[in-house]
Structures are given as C-alpha cells and as structure tokens.
C-alpha cells in the first residue's frame, strides 16, 4: 500500500513531468488549435493510457533492460527522434483541417492508438516511466505496487496535458486567419524539433 507521503511525492513528480513542455504537449497544443479540444480528447486519452502501459513495462523489467543495454536505448531514442522529425514535418505543412469523403476524421488528427503507440518511441515518456519506477516503486512491491504507481501517474497526467489542448482550443479563434495558422504550426514544428535534442543527450 502506498503511504500518503509517497502518494504526494508521486503526484508531484507526475504533475511536473506531465505539464512541462515536451513532444506530447507541443502536439496537443497544435491539435487544440487545428482541431479543437473535443476532437483532441482521444489523443489525450491515448497519451495517458500509453504512459500507463509503458510504466507497467518499465516496472516489470523493461526499464532495467534498457539501462543495462545502452545501445538498445540509443536505438529507441533514435527511432523516436526520426518519428518526431516526421511529425514536425507534417505539422509544418499542415493547413486548415479538412475531412475528405472517405475519411472519418480530419487529416493530421492523432487518435487514441496512435498517441498510445507514440509513447513507446517518445524519449520523454521513457524518462518519466523509468524515473517513476526507479524513484517510487518498492523492490518487493510486486505488480500491485507498479500498477498503483502507474495509475497515479496516468490519472495526474490527464488534467495536466489537457491544459495544453485546452489552451490550443482557446487560441484557435485568434489563429483563424490562414497565415497566422501557418505561422503557429511552423512555430510548433520548430518547438517539437527543439525538444528532441535534450532528450537525445539524456
């Protein structure tokens, strides 16, 4: 059972790591601007769900494996960086959201499964998962302790990252002019690229 001081410490850790700028939050801000808050909800849920699964995997030994095999961790970070560059390229060229006849959602809108899968190649998500397990998981706690830790982190993550999507939705009206929207998307693209460098050095 997680003690109250430990619970508060985990919540503080989850809040700080979730609400600070990073790839997820840059994409949520852009999605809020381009698609609105409601359409971004599956993206939000996918991030938190993916983080939970990632933290469980780290707690069950995958995090230790990556620490023991730095080359494997480097491959993971490299794949993540390449994918983030591709996302930045897509965002740079994003125009006004449009839905073709054969589509069920606007082009460029990330859904639940895409956001959940992205956590596996997101270096910041790995740092959060490994840091949480290393800092707060009791060695003899077993699966129940790791699950409790993951649930707390995921639940705290939801409102923190939602603020970024909500901020984007509030900015949407001010960025309704196509030229302003393009400049904003370009700025978010560059911010996403800028977030890669410090994580690659971690």
Handedness of CA 8, 13, 19, 23 (dihedral sign): negative
Residues 52-74: what's their mean pLDDT? 81
pLDDT of residue 106: 55
Determine contact, residues 21/176, Cβ cutoff 8 Å: no
More confident residue, 41 or 88: 41
Residue 12 exposed, middle or buried by CB count within 10 Å (0-12, 13-18, 19+): exposed
Residue 42 has pLDDT above 90, yes or no: yes
pLDDT digits (tens, 9 = 90+) for 97-153: 444 444 445 556 899 999 999 999 888 898 899 889 888 887 677 888 899 999 999
Both tokens assigned to 105: 């959602």
Residue 197 has pLDDT above 80, yes or no: no
Q: How far apart are CA 90 and CA 173, in angstroms?
A: 22
pLDDT of residue 102: 46
Mean confidence (pLDDT) of the chain: 85
Determine contact, residues 24/47, Cβ cutoff 8 Å: yes
pLDDT digits (tens, 9 = 90+) for 179-190: 888 889 899 989
pLDDT of residue 51: 97
* Most confidently modeled range among 5-9, 71-75, 138-142, 181-185: 5-9
User: pTM to 2 decimals?
Assistant: 0.85
For the chain, which residues make up each domain, given as ranges?
Answer: 22-95+108-200
Residue from 181, 196, 174 nearest 96 by CA: 181
């Amino acid at each position: 059972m997680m003690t109250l001081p430990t619970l508060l410490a985990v919540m503080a850790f989850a809040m700080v790591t979730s609400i600070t700028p990073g790839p997820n939050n840059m994409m949520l801000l852009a999605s809020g601007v381009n698609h609105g808050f409601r359409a971004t909800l599956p993206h939000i849920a996918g991030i938190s769900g993916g983080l939970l699964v990632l933290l469980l995997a780290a707690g069950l030994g995958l995090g230790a494996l990556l620490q023991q095999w730095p080359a494997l961790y480097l491959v993971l970070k490299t794949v993540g960086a390449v994918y983030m560059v591709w996302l930045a390229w897509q965002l740079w060229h994003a125009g006004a959201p449009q839905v073709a006849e054969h589509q069920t959602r606007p082009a460029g809108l990330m859904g639940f499964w895409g956001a959940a899968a992205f956590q596996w190649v997101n270096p910041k998500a790995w740092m959060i998962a490994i840091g949480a397990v290393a800092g707060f998981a009791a060695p003899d706690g077993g699966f129940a302790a790791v699950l409790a830790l993951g649930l707390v982190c995921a639940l705290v993550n939801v409102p923190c990252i939602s603020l970024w999507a909500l901020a984007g939705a509030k900015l949407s009206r001010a960025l309704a002019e196509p030229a302003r929207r393009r400049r904003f998307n370009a700025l978010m693209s560059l911010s996403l690229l800028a977030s890669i460098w410090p994580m690659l050095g971690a």
